Chains A and B, each alone.
Chain A
Amino acid sequence: MESTPPEEVYVDEFDPKEHQGCYIFTLDGEEDRPTKHRKTKGKQRATEKAVVEEEKCPFPVLLDGKETESTIKLRYRTYCKLWEAQEKRTKAILDSFNSKTLDDVSTFVKDATPEKYEGKIPTALVLAGPNIASHELLFEQLAQRIRSQDRTGPVVVLTSKDATNLKTILRKLIRDATQQDEGVDDEEEDIVRKSTKLLNYDLQILQIWCELHKGQKVTVAVQDSEAFDSGILSDLISLFISYLDRIPFVLLIGIATSVEIFHDKLPKSTIRLMRGNKFDVERAEECLAQIFNDSMTSDEAVLRLGASVCDFLLERYRDHTQSIQAFVAALKYAYMSHFYANPLSIILGFIDNTDGLGEVLSTEHVEAIRNVPSFRRYVEGKMAAKEVGEVRKLLTDDNYVRRAIAERIPESRNYGIELGQALTFLEIGRSCTLIQNNAPRYELYSKALSGELQTSPSVREFLMSLKRMNSTTLLNLLEKVMQEIQTPAITEPLRPLQEKIKKLVEEAEASGGKKNLISEFDITNNTLRGTAVSKKVRLGEQKSSLTKQDTEYSALVQQVYTIAESYLTTNFNSSQHGLQNVLLHEVFFYDLRSPHSAVFAPKPRSTIERGLSQPQDYLACSCCTSADGDEVGIRGTQPPASIIYRLYLESGALINIYDLWSAFYSVIAGEEEEFDVPTAQALFYRSLAEMRFLGFVKHTKKKTDHIAKLAWKGI
C-alpha cells in the first residue's frame, strides 16, 4: 500500500547492473566514439561511422561517406551471390571427395561377419589423416551412407567427448542404436517392457533390439581413437566380443596418426579381438588442389586471389593447419573483406552483363577508378602511344570512363581465365612427362601471377621433355589437352597437328607394324632404337636409324613445341601479359595479406610483450623516447606494469619480491626524494597482480618471499 511511492523515488538512482556479477560496461557518451579510419585501395578514407543496418546489410559506407545506399546494398548482394556460387561448388567437391573411401567402407560393412574374420570383431581402420576438423564430416558421411543407403542397420558414432566412463558410452551407444529407426510403437514398447528390469547401460537391451530386427548389423564408429581413453576403449571392445554372438557388431575406427600408434595404445589382448582391413582417406592435398583449381583457375571463378594472399594461405595450410576447412574459411574471408572495403567491387556484379553498370557508377566511383594504379598505368600507356584525345577524355569525361570500363571488363576477366588455362596446360604437360617433382597447379599459380614462372625451370623442363616425347605420350598429352582446355589460342593450332600425328602413327603401323614413333631429339632412345629398328627395317636403310615417319614426326613435334613455347611464354610473360597491365586488376584480384594474417594468425603473445616492454610504441608519449628517437631505459614515467615487466625480464627464474619492490621504488621515485611510499606500494601491488593475471609470475613454495618467473620474452 505504501510500498510504491518510495520505490519510485529511488528508481532514477537504481542501476540494475550494480547487482549483477558481470555486465558490459558502456560509457555514457558512447555515441561520440572516435571514428575509425580505414584505408582502401584508392587511398580514400572511408568511415564506418554509420553502419547501415537495414536489410541486414552489414557493410559500411565507403567513398568518404558519399557512397549511396543502393550501391552499398548492391555490394552486399554481389558478395552474397558470388560467395554462394563459390561455396556451392566447394561443397560439391568436398562431398564427392570421400566417395571412394565411403564406397570401400560401406562394402566392408555390408560383407562383414564375424565368421569371416575368425570369430573376431570385423574392424575397419579408417586412416583419416591428422586434420581433425575433417573427421566429423567424414564420419557423418559414413554414418549417413550406411544408415540410409546401405541399410545394414544402425550406426553409432562415438567421440571421445562421450567417453568419460564406460557406462556413459554404453548408454549413448544403446540409446543411439535403438532409437535410430522410427520403429513401430508397439515394437518400442516391447523393448521397453522386456528391458524394464535392465539398467540403461546393459547391452542386453541392444540384444533384445537385435532379436527384433534380424539381419541388422550394429555399426559402431569410433571417430577419434587417439583421444579415447585406452582403458575405456579396450573395455568396450572386450564387451563387444562377449556379445558378438548375439549382437552383430562392426567396428569402424578413425585413426589420425598411424596404425602403429593405434596398436601401441591398446593392450595386445584387445587387439587380438579385432580383425579387418584398413582404409585410406584421400590425401588432403588432392582435395586442396581441386578446391583451389575451382576457386582460382577455373572459368567460373570471379574473384581470384593475388600472389601474396595465395602464398600466405598455402603456406599456412602446409606449415600450420593442413585443414581444408581453414582454407575455405580464409577464402570466404577474402571474398568478404574484398566487398567490405572496396567500393569498386560492385563491378564484379556486372561481369556477365555490363548493362546498367554505367548508371550504377557514381561520380565518386569514377573518381575512385581514376585513382586506381592500374588505371593510371593504362592512361600512361595511352599517353605513350600518343593518344592524347583519348587520355583527355579518360581524365575528364566521366561517361567516357564508364563506357570504357564496361567495354574492358570482359578482357580483364579473361586474363584470369587464360592464365588458369595456361596453368592447366602446363600441369597436364608436366604430368605426361617423366619430371620427378610435379608441382601442382596451386603452387605454380602465385608464381605465374608474380611473373616468376616465365623464367622458372618448371616451364623449361616441360618444353625440353616435350621435344623428346614419343608419339604415344604426345598423343596422350594432346588428347588430355583437347579435353580439358577450351582456349582456342592453344587448341586451334594443335588440333591439325594431332590429326597429322595420328595419321602418321596409323601409317607407320600399317607399313612396319611400329606403333611408337620417336622424336629425333630423343638422344637416349636413338641409339637404343638403332638396333631394334634395324631388324625391322631393311638392311640398306641402316644409315639413318630413324624411319621416314620418324622424321616426319620429328618435324611435327617441332611444330608442337613451337606452339607450346609461344603459348606459354606469352601467357607467363610478366612485362607484356603481367597482372600489372590488367586494367582494374585490383577489382578482379584480392591481394591484401595483412587482414588475413591479423585475423587468422594473430600474434597475441608478442603483442603483449611489445606493449609491456615498449609502451612508447602504443602511447606515443614524448617522455619515453629521447630526442633522436632512440628508446630510453626504464623511466619512472612509464606505466607501472611496464616498469615491473622490464625489471622482470632482467631477473632470474626466481624473483625476490623485496628486491623487485626496491628496484621498482627507485625507478618510480626517480630523482624525487620523497615519493609517497603508500602510492608506490599500491602501484606495485596492482602491477604485480596484473603480471600474475597475464600469466607471467606465480607463487612458489621453493623459496620464501619469492615468486617464480613463468615466461621468457621472444619465444
Chain B
Amino acid sequence: MTDEMLPTELLTTMNEQFPCRAPQIRRLAALVGTDETPSPPAIVLHGLEATGKTTILRTFMDSVNASYTAGVTENVGGGDAGRAGDVCALGVRLSGVLSGVERKHFLVLDRVDRTREGSSVLFAALGRLGEMIPILTVIFILSVPKPRLLSSAEPPHIHFAPYTKEESIKILSKYVRRIPFQDIEEYTQKDAKEELYVWQKFCGTVWDSLAKGTARGVVQFRAIVDEMWEPFVKPIAEGEYGTRNYSSLYLLHKDMFRRETNVIDVVVPVGAGEKAVTKIHDLPYYSKFLLCAAYLASYNPARQDAVFFMKNNDFGRKKRRGGTTGSTKRTAKNRKIHRRLLGPQAFPLERLQAIFAAILPHRMSSSADIQTQIATLTSLRLLTKASATDVLEAGAKWRVNAGWDYIRHVARSVKFDIEDFVAE
C-alpha cells in the first residue's frame, strides 16, 4: 500500500476536503487503484451513520475517473437485484454489458445492510459477482460488519470510525458561521480569526454539554450547533460582549445548555406552533378513568389489588396502605427493579373493569358505552392487546401503552389521585 498509485495532490485535496479521514482514503486508493492494477472482487466499507463513507467514496471515484455504478439498495426487494429479477439475471446482464469493456468497473451497493428482504444468500451471491466477472469489483457500504456476511474469504474491510470530539470540532471548523455584527464596516482577517476562536470554543462546549450523549454523528452535531449559534453570539453581535471573554458569555447562556430542546427531535420546531392557542382535545370522562385503571392494572401486581381497591365497610373509603411507610421497610431488603421500569404487564379485561369500578368516585352501572370506550382506547393504541387470541375470547390479555407522565396528566384532569394507588 503505497501512495504512488495516486497523485499526491489528489490525496492532499481530498484530505483537505475531508479532514481526519486520511487513512481511510489511503486504503481506498490502494484498493481501487488504477486500471492497470488488479482490484479485489469485493470491498466492504463500514462505519456508523455520518462518518463519510458514501461521500468520500463518491468523491474519490469521481476524481480518479473510475467507472462505477452506484445503487442505493434501500428499496423494497433490493435495488438492482429486484430490477433484474434476481441475482443470477443481474450477473448475466452485467457480464453481458461488461464483456467488451477494457476498464475495471465498480458496483457500489450503498446501505446494503438495510435491504428489506435481503437474505444472507443474496449478499453472498452479490459478493461472488466480482469473482465471476474479473473486471468487476463490488463495493458494499454498510454500518456494522457481520462476520461471514458474504460467505467467502474475507474481503478487505475499510473501517470508518466515528469522529472523536477533536475531530468533530475540526470538521465543523470548516463551516464557521459568521457572527452577525451589527455595525461592521468591513470583514477583516482578524474578525475571521476571532470568529473561529469563538466557534471552536462553542463547539467544544456544545459537545461536552449536549452532543456527547445525544448527537455523536457529525451531522446531528452540526445541526445542534447551527441552531444554537445565533442566540449564543447575539450579545457579541450587539456589542455587549467581546469575543475573548467566552467564559462570561457561557455563564450568561448557561440555561441554554441545560435545556434539551435543541437535542430532542420534533416534527414541529419549537416556536412555530406556539402562537396559536393550544386547544386541548379531551378524552371523555370515563375514558380517562379507564385509562388510569388500565395503567394500574398494568403496573400493580395483581395480588396487591385487594390492598388498594378493597372498600371498607365505611362507604367509599379506600384503604391506602400499599406505598406508605409500613411496607417500605419490609421490602427494602430485597428491593428489586422499580415496576415502572419493567414495562407494562398484561392483564385480563375483567381486572381492568374491576379496578375501573373501584376507582370511580361514584357508583356507575356498566353499560355498553364502557366497552365502546375500551375499543376506542384500543384504536388509539393507548391500550393494546397482549395475547394472540381473539378480542372476544374471555382470556384475552391487554396492556396499557401510555407513559406515567401522560397518565398522571389524565388522572389530574379528573381529580383522581393516582399516586395513592400505584404500588411502589
A and B bind: yes
Which residues of chain A have a CB within 8 Å of any CB of chain B? 123, 125, 127-130, 132, 166-167, 170, 197-199, 201-203, 224, 226-227, 235, 238-239, 242, 256-265, 268, 271-272, 274-278, 280-284, 316, 318-322, 597, 600-606, 695-696, 698, 708, 710-712, 714-715
Cross-chain contact A710 with B395 (CB below 8 angstroms): yes
Q: Give Cα A603–Cα B366 distance, bound, in whole angstroms.
A: 7
Q: Give Cα A241–Cα B384 distance, bound, in whole angstroms.
A: 30
Nearest CB of A to B255, in Å: 22
Which residues of B (202-231) have their CB < 8 Å from a CB of A? 220
Q: B402 to chain A: which residues have CB within 8 Å? A: 261
Interface of A is mostly: mixed
Which residues of chain B have a CB within 8 Å of any CB of chain A? 72, 74-77, 82-83, 116, 220, 265-269, 272-273, 276, 278-279, 281-287, 348, 350, 353-354, 357, 365-370, 372-373, 376, 379-382, 392, 394-395, 402-403, 406
A226, A283, A696: which contacts B381 (Cβ < 8 A)? Answer: A226
Q: B77 to chain A: which residues have CB within 8 Å? A: 199, 202
A127, A272, A712: which contacts B350 (Cβ < 8 A)? Answer: A712
Q: Give Cα A235–Cα B134 distance, bound, in whole angstroms.
A: 36
Cross-chain contact B372 with A321 (CB below 8 angstroms): yes
B75, B282, B370: which contacts A130 (Cβ < 8 A)? Answer: B282
A123, A130, A698, A715: which contacts B376 (Cβ < 8 A)? Answer: A130
15 of the cross-chain contacts (CB-CB < 8 Å) are: A129-B281, A130-B376, A167-B76, A199-B77, A202-B76, A263-B267, A274-B267, A281-B281, A283-B281, A320-B286, A322-B282, A601-B367, A601-B368, A695-B394, A698-B394
Q: B76 to chain A: which residues have CB within 8 Å? A: 166-167, 170, 199, 201-202, 239
Cross-chain contact A125 with B267 (CB below 8 angstroms): yes
Closest A residue to B368 using CB positions: A602
Q: B283 to chain A: which residues have CB within 8 Å? A: 130, 322
Q: B380 to chain A: which residues have CB within 8 Å? A: 130, 132, 226-227, 256-257
Q: Give Cα A321–Cα B273 distance, bound, in whole angstroms.
A: 28
Nearest CB of A to B187, in Å: 27
New contact pairs (9) apart from A130-B380, A197-B83, A695-B394, CB-CB < 8 Å: A130-B281, A166-B76, A239-B76, A272-B265, A283-B279, A322-B284, A710-B350, A715-B353, A715-B366
Cross-chain contact B267 with A275 (CB below 8 angstroms): yes
Known contacts A271-B267, A277-B272, A712-B354: does B366 contact A132 (CB below 8 Å)? no
Nearest CB of B to A64, in Å: 34
Known contacts A235-B116, A276-B268, A605-B366: does B381 contact A260 (CB below 8 Å)? no
**Most chain-A CB neighbours within 10 Å: which of B77, B370, B373, B394?**
B394
Nearest CB of A to B290, in Å: 10
Cross-chain contact B284 with A132 (CB below 8 angstroms): no
Cross-chain contact A319 with B276 (CB below 8 angstroms): no
Q: A281 to chain B: which residues have CB within 8 Å? A: 281
Q: A320 to chain B: which residues have CB within 8 Å? A: 284-287, 369-370, 372-373
Cross-chain contact A132 with B376 (CB below 8 angstroms): yes
Q: B370 to chain A: which residues have CB within 8 Å? A: 320
Q: B268 to chain A: which residues have CB within 8 Å? A: 125, 259, 276-278
Cross-chain contact B367 with A603 (CB below 8 angstroms): yes
Cross-chain contact A261 with B281 (CB below 8 angstroms): no
B278, B354, B379, B395: which contacts A224 (Cβ < 8 A)? Answer: B379
Q: Give Cα A143–Cα B76 distance, bound, in whole angstroms.
A: 27
Closest B residue to A272 using CB positions: B265
Cross-chain contact A316 with B369 (CB below 8 angstroms): yes
Nearest CB of A to B201, in Å: 26
Nearest CB of A to B411, in Å: 15
Closest B residue to A121 using CB positions: B267
Cross-chain contact B354 with A715 (CB below 8 angstroms): yes
Nearest CB of A to B12, in Å: 31
B82, B284, B366: which contacts A606 (Cβ < 8 A)? Answer: B366
Known contacts A318-B284, A603-B367: does B267 contact A276 (CB below 8 Å)? yes
Closest 6 CB pairs of A and B: A129-B281, A320-B369, A601-B367, A319-B285, A695-B394, A226-B381
Q: B369 to chain A: which residues have CB within 8 Å? A: 316, 320-321, 600-601
Q: A284 to chain B: which residues have CB within 8 Å? A: 281
Q: Give Cα A242–Cα B367 distance, bound, in whole angstroms.
A: 49
B276, B368, B376, B382: which contacts A604 (Cβ < 8 A)? Answer: B368
Q: Give Cα A198–Cα B85 distance, bound, in whole angstroms.
A: 9
Nearest CB of B to A196, in Å: 12
Q: A321 to chain B: which residues have CB within 8 Å? A: 284, 369, 372
Q: B373 to chain A: which residues have CB within 8 Å? A: 320
B272, B286, B382, B395: which contacts A698 (Cβ < 8 A)? Answer: B395
Q: A274 to chain B: which residues have CB within 8 Å? A: 267
Q: B83 to chain A: which residues have CB within 8 Å? A: 197-198
Known contacts A130-B380, A283-B279: does B266 contact A606 (CB below 8 Å)? no
Q: Give Cα A601–Cα B365 distance, bound, in whole angstroms.
A: 11
Nearest CB of B to A132, in Å: 6
**Most chain-A CB neighbours within 10 Å: which of B267, B282, B286?**
B267
Cross-chain contact A711 with B372 (CB below 8 angstroms): no
**Most chain-B CB neighbours within 10 Å: which of A224, A257, A259, A597?**
A257
Closest B residue to A604 using CB positions: B368
Q: Give Cα A696–Cα B350 distance, bound, in whole angstroms.
A: 11
Cross-chain contact B72 with A130 (CB below 8 angstroms): no
Known contacts A278-B268, A712-B354, A715-B350: does B367 contact A602 (CB below 8 Å)? yes
Known contacts A242-B74, A264-B403: does B353 contact A271 (CB below 8 Å)? no
Closest A residue to B392 using CB positions: A695
Cross-chain contact B287 with A130 (CB below 8 angstroms): yes
Q: B273 to chain A: which residues have CB within 8 Å? A: 277-278
Cross-chain contact A132 with B82 (CB below 8 angstroms): no
Closest B residue to A253 using CB positions: B267
Cross-chain contact B116 with A166 (CB below 8 angstroms): yes
Q: B354 to chain A: which residues have CB within 8 Å? A: 712, 715
Closest B residue to A267 using CB positions: B265
Closest B residue to A229 using CB positions: B381
Nearest CB of A to B86, in Å: 12
Q: Give Cα A76–Cα B353 distance, bound, in whole angstroms.
A: 43
Q: Give Cα A256–Cα B395 distance, bound, in whole angstroms.
A: 29
Q: B266 to chain A: which residues have CB within 8 Å? A: 259, 263, 271
A128, A259, A603, A715: which contacts B368 (Cβ < 8 A)? Answer: A603
Closest B residue to A263 using CB positions: B266
Q: A272 to chain B: which residues have CB within 8 Å? A: 220, 265
Q: B376 to chain A: which residues have CB within 8 Å? A: 130, 132
Closest A residue to B263 using CB positions: A268
Closest A residue to B280 using CB positions: A283
Nearest CB of B to A230, in Å: 9
Known contacts A130-B281, A602-B367: does B286 contact A268 (CB below 8 Å)? no
Q: A130 to chain B: which residues have CB within 8 Å? A: 281-284, 287, 376, 380
Q: B281 to chain A: which residues have CB within 8 Å? A: 127-130, 256, 281, 283-284
**Most chain-A CB neighbours within 10 Å: which of B74, B75, B353, B357?**
B75
Q: A606 to chain B: which residues have CB within 8 Å? A: 365-366
Q: Give Cα A132–Cα B406 distance, bound, in whole angstroms.
A: 20
Q: Give Cα A272–Cα B269 distance, bound, in whole angstroms.
A: 11
Q: B350 to chain A: which residues have CB within 8 Å? A: 710-712, 715
**Most chain-A CB neighbours within 10 Å: which of B283, B370, B381, B382?**
B381
Known contacts A127-B281, A605-B366: does B269 contact A261 (CB below 8 Å)? no
B267, B278, B368, B394: which contacts A280 (Cβ < 8 A)? Answer: B278
Q: B353 to chain A: which residues have CB within 8 Å? A: 715
Closest B residue to A235 using CB positions: B116
Closest B residue to A699 using CB positions: B395
Q: B265 to chain A: which residues have CB within 8 Å? A: 263, 268, 271-272
Nearest CB of A to B181, in Å: 26
Q: Give Cα A603–Cα B394 distance, bound, in whole angstroms.
A: 18
Nearest CB of B to A49, in Å: 30
Q: Give Cα A712–Cα B369 distance, bound, in whole angstroms.
A: 19
Nearest CB of B to A175, in Å: 15
Q: Give Cα A2–Cα B102 distance, bound, in whole angstroms.
A: 86
Q: A282 to chain B: which residues have CB within 8 Å? A: 279
